[in-house]
Amino acid sequence: MSFFDMNNLFFRYRIAKEIGVLEDNIEEHKQAIAQLDQQKKYLFGNDRNLQRFAREKYLMKKDNEDVFVIVEEEKVEDNDK
């Protein structure tokens, strides 16, 4: 009788496993939200920090400035020695 209704052991085990995964996801998202809130306070707490972020991340500049982007080349190792 325990294998024929919806509350059998296999179903309950699978649901318990899914609950565990979802609870882990909740914790990860809470940590990400806390980190983003901290970044938001840092950026919007000071205009200088906001300008620095905009310049570094989005390459924004003032009208009288020039922006130079320096890209480092990756080393390629030769494995055919």
How would DSSP label each residue in 19-58?
HHHHHHHHHHHHHHHHHHHHHHHHHHT-HHHHHHHHHHHH
Average pLDDT, the chain: 84
Mean pLDDT of 54-68: 82
pLDDT at 1: 46
Q: Write down the domain spans for the chain.
A: 1-72
Confidence of residue 81 (pLDDT cuts 50, 70, 90): low
Share of the chain above pLDDT 70, in %: 89
Mean pLDDT of 44-68: 84
pTM of the model: 0.55
Mean pLDDT of 6-18: 86
